[in-house]
């Protein structure tokens, strides 16, 4: 079955460490996105990519970095510069023909202490 796989489901890190969250899709979607969700809040866009080797900042990109070396993969690195990294991180993808439905992975819950 096609879908979006995020790993790990739960991640614990000490303050000051960089951490990379994995996102892989086999839907053959061109566009991929990273969103952050804080408790009781909506989702906010961190980064997005419409094509391999290209990506753009979203609304809250500071303290994060991404890469898009393959169409299927869009890993997110939470750096030590991110002031409040503890959150639920959701990866999504969509076709790029016009606007099309957004599909989400199951998310990674990151806790930094």
Residues that bind another protein (CB under 8 A): 31, 33, 35, 41-45, 48, 50, 56, 58-59, 88, 90, 94, 96, 98-104, 106-107, 109
Instruction: Please give the Cα distance from 64 to 80 (Å, whole number).
Output: 9
Instruction: Indicate the SS3 state at residue 53.
Output: coil
Q: Which is nearer to another protein, 1 or 15 (CB)?
A: 1
Assess contact for 44 and 36: CB atoms under 8 A: yes
- The number of angstroms, rounded, from the C-alpha of 95 to the middle of its chain's C-alpha atoms is 17
CB of 98 to another protein, least distance (A): 7
Token code pair at residue 74: 């869009």
Q: Which is nearer to another protein, 57 or 70 (CB)?
A: 57
Q: Which is nearer to another protein, 16 or 40 (CB)?
A: 40
């Amino acid at each position: 079955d096609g879908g979006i796989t995020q790993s790990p489901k739960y991640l614990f890190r000490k303050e000051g460490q960089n951490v990379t969250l994995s996102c892989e899709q086999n839907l053959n979607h061109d566009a991929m996105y990273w969103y952050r969700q804080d408790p009781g809040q909506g989702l906010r866009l961190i980064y997005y990519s419409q094509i391999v080797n290209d990506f753009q900042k979203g609304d809250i990109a500071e303290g994060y970095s991404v890469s898009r070396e393959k169409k299927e993969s869009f890993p997110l690195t939470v750096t030590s510069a991110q002031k409040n990294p503890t959150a639920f991180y959701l990866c999504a993808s969509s076709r790029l023909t016009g606007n099309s439905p957004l599909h989400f992975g199951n998310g990674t819950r990151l806790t930094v202490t």
